């Protein structure tokens, strides 16, 4: 993102010249950026099993229009989470805003779970973005240090798909990822975005495809475990790793190969919703932490796609 566009997409609060600290983004800018990241995730194809602007993947109850409606409705809640964090909110207070966001999502979609995992993970990163300063290395480190313990020990829904899969297969899921500072974002998704941009410098969608494959290959996604069990997860991880081993988006014919993997996931009804959430979060941390290197045309596109 150019400096001018960075200011347009994420207008910053005035810098404190005395302390020289990194200036925090305004809550409104944080909310707009989080929603832009959700929209960019939708506008990515091929993404194995997932909903995109091209097709509905393994989902009978969702399409791109529904995901965009949900993403738009969440923007003020992401801003509210950032505002609450900036005012010193603890995890109980953040959870309250997150639950209100879930209620808005269900109202906007007629009861479909379009973004529950994303509200949680991206919401916590929005909270961290409001507190950004020179002392914390990453947004993930802020989440882990300030709220990690409360996330770990906080209330969990015992009968959710995620917690059932977590119990049965020993996966730590969305909560574990957040409590430990988003290792999949910093270790898989964000570096794969960088690698994808290097492999295909003029195709930002290709960078997002590289990132979703890297995430699927490495994440124990409770959505896949819920629908396909351990066998489904092993299949998904193997196929994604094979795509990357053959050169990912740097190899000729990558789009057709990725589309074939997508078809295989759909045939098995597999959907890596957790990896989709982590792609949005990877876009978000890169845009906040390295704004000069983020992708200008991407965010322009996301704001137009509604």
Ligand X SMILES: CC(C)(COP(=O)(O)OP(=O)(O)OC[C@H]1O[C@@H](n2cnc3c(N)ncnc32)[C@H](O)[C@@H]1O)[C@@H](O)C(=O)NCCC(=O)NCCS
Burial tier of 17 (Cβ tally within 10 Å: 0-12, 13-18, 19+):
exposed
Query: Which CB sits closer to ligand ATP, 118 or 295?
Result: 118
Answer with the entry of ligand ATP, ligand X, none that 227 interacts with (C-beta below 5 to 8 A by kind): ligand ATP
Query: Which CB sits closer to ligand X, 212 or 295?
Result: 212
- Which residue in this structure is represented by tokens 């091209």? 54
Query: Which CB sits closer to ligand X, 49 or 204?
Result: 49
- Report CA dihedral (48, 54, 58, 60) to the nearest 10 degrees: 170
Does 275 participate in binding ligand ATP (rule CB under 6 A)? Answer: no
| Contact yes or no for 305/42 (Cβ under 8 A) | yes
Query: Which CB sits closer to ligand X, 237 or 295?
Result: 237
* CA–CA dist 208, 183 (Å, integer): 18
Smallest gap from Cβ 245 to ligand X, in A, equals 22
Answer with the entry of ligand ATP, ligand X, none that 181 interacts with (C-beta below 5 to 8 A by kind): none
Smallest gap from Cβ 119 to ligand X, in A, equals 6
Smallest gap from Cβ 206 to ligand X, in A, equals 23
Burial tier of 306 (Cβ tally within 10 Å: 0-12, 13-18, 19+):
exposed
Smallest gap from Cβ 62 to ligand X, in A, equals 12
Smallest gap from Cβ 156 to ligand ATP, in A, equals 14
Does 223 participate in binding ligand ATP (rule CB under 6 A)? Answer: yes
Burial tier of 130 (Cβ tally within 10 Å: 0-12, 13-18, 19+):
buried
* CA–CA dist 94, 208 (Å, integer): 29
Residues at the contact surface with ligand ATP, assessed by CB under 6 A:
41-42, 50-51, 59, 67, 113, 115-118, 161, 223, 226-227, 271, 273, 276-277
């Amino acid at each position: 993102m150019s400096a001018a566009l960075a200011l347009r997409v994420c207008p910053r609060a005035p810098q404190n010249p005395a302390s020289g600290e990194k200036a925090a983004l305004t809550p409104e800018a944080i909310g707009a950026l989080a929603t832009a990241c959700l929209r960019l995730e939708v506008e990515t194809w091929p993404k194995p099993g997932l909903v995109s602007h091209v097709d509905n993947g393994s989902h009978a109850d969702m399409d791109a229009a529904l995901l965009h409606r949900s993403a738009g409705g969440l923007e003020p809640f992401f801003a509210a989470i950032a505002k609450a964090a900036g005012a010193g909110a603890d995890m109980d207070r953040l959870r309250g805003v997150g639950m209100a966001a879930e209620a808005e999502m269900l109202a906007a979609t007629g009861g479909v779970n379009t973004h529950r995992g994303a509200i949680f993970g991206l919401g916590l990163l929005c909270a961290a973005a409001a507190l950004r300063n020179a002392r914390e290395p990453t947004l993930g480190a802020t989440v882990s240090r300030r709220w990690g313990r409360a996330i770990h020990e906080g209330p969990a829904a015992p009968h959710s798909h995620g917690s059932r899969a977590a119990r049965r297969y020993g996966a730590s899921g969305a909560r574990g990822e957040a409590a430990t500072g988003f290792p999949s974002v910093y270790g898989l998704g964000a570096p794969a975005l960088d690698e994808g941009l290097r492999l295909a410098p003029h195709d930002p969608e290709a960078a997002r495809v590289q990132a979703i494959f890297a995430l699927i290959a490495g994440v124990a996604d409770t959505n896949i475990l819920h629908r396909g069990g351990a066998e489904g997860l092993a299949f998904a991880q193997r196929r994604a790793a094979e795509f990357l081993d053959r050169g990912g988006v740097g190899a000729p014919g990558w789009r057709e190969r990725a589309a074939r993997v997508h078809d295989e996931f759909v045939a098995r009804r597999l959907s890596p919703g957790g990896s989709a959430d982590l792609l949005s979060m990877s876009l978000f941390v890169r845009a906040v932490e390295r704004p000069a290197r983020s992708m200008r045309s991407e965010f322009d596109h996301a704001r137009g796609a509604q």
